[in-house]
A and B are shown apart, each in its own frame.
Chain A
Amino acid sequence: MKRICIYTLICFLSIGLSHAQVDRTKYPEPGPAPQINIGDAETFTLPNGLKVFVVENHKLPRVTYSLMLDRSPLLEGDKAGLTSLVGDMLMGGTKSRTKDQIDEEIDMIGGRISFGSTSANASSLTKYQDKLLTLFADILLNPSFPQSELDKLKKQAISGIASSKDSPDEISGKVSNVVLYGKDHPYGEFATEKTVSNVQVADIKQYYNTYFKPNIGYLAIVGDITKQEAERLTKQYFGDWQQGEVEKSTWPIPAAPQGNEVILVNRPTSVQSVVNITYPLALKHNDADAIPAQLLNNILGGGSAGRLFTNLRERKGYTYGAYSSLSPDKIVGNFSASASVRTEVTDSAIYEFLEELKRIDKKTITEQEVADSKAILSGSFGRSLEQPATIARFAINTELYDLPKDYYKNYLQNLNAVTVEQLNTLAPKYIKPANAYIVVVGNTDAFKDQVAQFGAVKYYTNTGEPEVKTSVQDSSLTAEKVVDKYLDAIGGKEKLADVKTLKSVQEAEIQGMKITAELLVDQTKPIAVQSMKMGPQVMSKFIIYQDKATMINQGQEQEVPAEMFKSLKNALEIFPELNYAKNGTKLSLDGMVKANDEDAYKVIVTSADGTKSVNYYSVASGLKLKSESASDGEAEINEYKDYNGIKLPAVSTIKSPNIPVPLKMVAVEQVINPAFNEADFQ
């Protein structure tokens, strides 16, 4: 009896337990969907045309001011980079405050102020709001644009450009924009060392006077503030801002390529290839297709649930992430699908990308994908409302992109109304697997043959220039003839053979310091002396003989290593081309390319000891434009001058692994056949 009792008890207990056990085999049912409330922004316009939006939110005692200027895209041309300097120039000083004072006063209230060329932001705790606005308005209305600030900013920008040449992502972005829009389009141009150095204070002033006008401005005020206060404060601080006419401009819409084109940028140190499949797209924010296109992109590659991520990362493990974007724009939008993939799978990854693009065009979108993507987009919409700035952004976007007044109020409803059929019909209109640029930045030698299957291959440089290589039309032309033409162009073999000695003094500037390089050559001995001075101080001095070279160090003469001598001994020959035939140098003509923006013959020079270098000779003038080698780096000849009927380089640019910046050398003294005495070579 007792035993039964216990059994019953155990039985009860176990039933009890199994009832309490959680059903883990399926997801819990969600609760009823919460109401999503989209607040309204209050709005008013100042007499000068500045349109103000106010979003009250008193959760934190802070307030943020965001200004946006609505101007047409701008082609900066030979001053590209100008707009990127405008914001910091505004922050560089006002009529009554230096930059130091501005920075100091902002930090004193723990606030933040930043300016761009079409935007500005300021935020602080509410209690410091008056001080914040005093500074914000002073920067906006009374900038002084000091020259010293521009000099500094230009220097930083140029440093930035130098470092961007090594970043595969930046190279990819730059080259993609060039092929998409062309360099003569606001979206395709980019800043170079040269264009940035062209920017003057007057250009910044002109930009400011043209575009910083209240009548093209939207000011969003978000946070711990009321509409009434906002009206009082904006009138007080921005009421005096003068309006002015701002012209609109229009830009051409570039077409997608007829067939796929493969654009390669060689970065031999890469362990990964940055792949970007991209083409321009006519899609505006207020198009009826804009919301369906967002869903379409989300299904393809919007995130970690997208087809691209699932395939290239989760199934294949080619990459850390693969995504796509389909961006609407006021002028011309674009599609982009990209990933960083390891070098060995570059071609396989491109293949998979294109397969996914093709597949989505074949009516393969499912109900489940559409439902999931709707949830993703509506979820992100809902979450974004946690930040009060979102409401202000909605109000400004409605104006900027000419959206229907209730666009955001109806967004979720319109999103949910999109059907599978609609998306399957729409896909081929926006996803173009056969009209794309396939831009690859990586170690191209490892895969250039394999990627040719995807389309015609073009090479670009890491500075965004096309690397055009064409075969030479005239089949009778040889490297020897190119070299002869060069010798003729600089004075002719006979004259050149008479040059026995040379003195050349050149100057360059680095960090405000003057560098002087002096070269003395006497071919009859033969002997040469090469010295380098920084300011008045001798940095290095080499004496080069037929069979060795020495370095003078604090009065001591010391022989240099063999490798260094190999490079130094070139100095013994004033015109090395003159001796190619005699000393066993081998030449080969490797087609035509661009060098310093000119058509040039590329000649590969292999000296008797096997050292290789490459010379570029102008097709038009015959002159040597550039030479490069692994050991000595690159020398561009920018200008020749005539010295007694012989042309010598007068301005050249040296890029070498041993110097951090390109050096622009300007000849200050060049003498042909000077008389030397013994002391000159000590």
Chain B
Amino acid sequence: MNKIKLVKGGLLLGMLGFAGMLNAQEKIQFKEFKLDNGLNVIMHQDKTTPIAAVSVLYHVGSKNEKPDRTGFAHFFEHLLFEGSEHIGRGEFMKKIQGIGGTLNAYTSNDQTYYHEVVPSNYLETALYMESERMLHAKIDSVGVETQREVVKEEKRQRMDNQPYGSILTEVLKRAYHKHPYQWAPIGSMEHLNAASLQEFMDFYKTYYVPNNAVLSIAGDIDYDQTEKWVRKYFAEIPKGEKEIVRPSIVEPKRNEEIRDIVYDNIQLPAVVEAYNLPRKDSPDSYALNMLSTYLAGGKSSLLTKEVVDKQQKAVQIMALPLDLEDGGLFLFLGIANMGVSADSLEIAIDEQIEKVRTAGITDKDFAKLKAQTENAVVSRHASVAGIAESLAEAKVYYGDANDVNKELANYNKVTKQDLQRVAQEYLNKNGRVVLHYLPKKAETK
């Protein structure tokens, strides 16, 4: 996800009417502590609405999977809703909704994230339920069989049956040759079919343990009472004993362009370009995020203005930044206008990227980019659920929840020259992946 969109703050100096410079962020206050079993806990109080957000971030994603057992982390996103020793099958969703709450979960290449928002008088209930699935989730053959079918349907609906739905899978398998980022979180249905119940149990005991998780709570809460409840329900969960495997392999730098054609059930051809990004915690991430906004965020962004509006070669051009812990991808998707070939669209996109690499950006555009960044940072975190998520992510990926309060300062350090520099360094044709999505009927002619 685009980090710019996920940053929060407010303005202290806004009332003075300063413009042209990013102002200091309003600080998100929080308290944190760590249990003996390794669970990190972060709390943020905001009493304006009587709701509380509870989330658990497990630091396990598809990159922790074995190459012959892909799709496990995402499968657990489903499996952990099956219930626990004390919560019956299917009851998890029913209960949360039955108390007027809402819940969901998602899986990325790096993490699995579970979250609930409940009326604040049910905070203890939500904590109890999250502790249940960390302590003794129900992992049995009935749950595994049901969720296997559900996941297969999810894959069919979101990928196989959707135009351009396979982009992530197709890009990842070409962009990474050594690192486990080479497969997408949805994984392989064959691997899920082949896996035994014991393998699922082992995965659970390895990764879904307090020492691999961050619990974050935000909203209408009392700090002391919340800490008491957290200790009550989570302290007795044993620390994980198995070794948590994190890939140490560094994807070797590639010096050759990889290009391919993907035939899909589509009418309009599309061009996908993927460039390798540095690690998520690299100082260049901020400049790259701004570069992504400059190229494809907003109506006056370079690619939208030139390729969509002026040349009319594309219906739409999107930046899909895949910002990953061990180094993600700077991803563009351009959908060609009627009658425009993928080749001609690719040339048009590359022309613009080359422009940034050779000429950099103007002072005016840089001022504009700063205003857009400021607005995004300030507008972020209009909800307590969003705050809980950012605090947890900051803790996991930057080792410090307080990193959420440094976003604007970090963006402030980026100079105009930095943008040109990162464009030259990262948006390099050597080593990039280019995919042309073409209508399937063109294949069978």
Contact = CB atoms under 8 A, between A and B. Distances in A.
Given A100-B305, A272-B156, A340-B161, A60 B378 contact: yes
Nearest to A386: B49
Contacts of B121: 30-34
Contact of A269 (B15, B48, B50, B265): B265
Interface stretch (B66-74, B326-334, B337-345): B337-345
Given A163-B335, A661-B338, 17 more contacts: A29-B124, A30-B124, A31-B124, A61-B11, A103-B300, A110-B372, A152-B309, A167-B162, A271-B161, A272-B161, A320-B153, A320-B158, A379-B102, A386-B51, A387-B383, A510-B339, A657-B445
A250 interface: no
Contacts of B309: 99-100, 152
27 contacts: A21-B236, A24-B85, A24-B86, A24-B135, A30-B122, A61-B11, A107-B298, A107-B299, A108-B367, A110-B373, A125-B374, A127-B17, A156-B315, A160-B315, A270-B161, A272-B157, A272-B161, A313-B153, A317-B148, A318-B153, A320-B150, A378-B100, A379-B119, A386-B48, A657-B444, A660-B339, A661-B338
Interface string B123-136: 11100100010010
Interface string A374-391: 011011101101110000
Interface string B373-388: 1111011001110000
A273 to B, nearest CB: 10
B257 interface: no
Nearest to B93: A304
A121 to B, nearest CB: 14
Interface stretch (B172-180, B266-274, B404-412): B266-274
A167 B372 CA distance: 33
A29 B124 CA distance: 8
Interface string B97-117: 111111000000000000001
A376 B93 CA distance: 11
A24 B237 CA distance: 12
B384 to A, nearest CB: 7
A62 B163 contact: no
B371 A109 contact: yes
B149 interface: yes
A140 interface: no
B267 A165 contact: yes
Contacts of A379: 97, 99-102, 118-119
Contacts of A104: 300, 368
Given A127-B19, A376-B100, A382-B100, A107 B265 contact: no
A61 B378 contact: yes
Interface of B: 10-11, 14-15, 17, 19, 48-51, 85-86, 90, 93-95, 97-102, 117-125, 128, 132, 135, 145-150, 152-154, 156-158, 160-163, 220, 232-233, 236, 265-269, 298-301, 305, 309, 312, 315, 335, 337-341, 367-368, 371-376, 378-379, 382-384, 439-442, 444-445
Nearest to B8: A60
A48 interface: no
B312 to A, nearest CB: 6
Contact of B150 (A111, A317, A661): A317
Nearest to A633: B441
Contacts of B367: 108
Contacts of B11: 61, 125, 127
Given A342-B153, A372-B97, A382-B50, A159 B315 contact: yes
Interface residues of A, number: 83
Contacts of A25: 86
B268 A34 contact: no
Given A107-B368, A340-B153, A22 B236 contact: yes
A34 B120 contact: yes
A305 B124 contact: no
Given A109-B371, A305-B94, A62 B379 contact: yes
Contact of B338 (A32, A158, A271, A371): A158
B265 to A, nearest CB: 5
Contact of B300 (A61, A106, A126): A106
Contacts of A317: 145-150, 153
A59 interface: yes
A412 B445 CA distance: 61
A387 B381 CA distance: 11
A253 interface: no
A211 B226 CA distance: 54
A162 B300 contact: no
Given A127-B19, A319-B153, A36 B97 contact: no
A316 B150 CA distance: 9
Given A33-B119, A125-B14, A658-B445, A272 B97 contact: no
B215 to A, nearest CB: 16
Interface in A490-543: 510-511
A59 B378 CA distance: 11
Contacts of B154: 320
A110 B376 contact: yes
Contacts of B371: 107-110, 128
Interface in A146-165: 152, 155-156, 158-160, 162-163, 165
A34 B85 CA distance: 30
7 A-B pairs with least C-beta separation: A379-B100, A317-B149, A110-B375, A34-B50, A110-B371, A31-B121, A103-B300
A128 B267 CA distance: 42
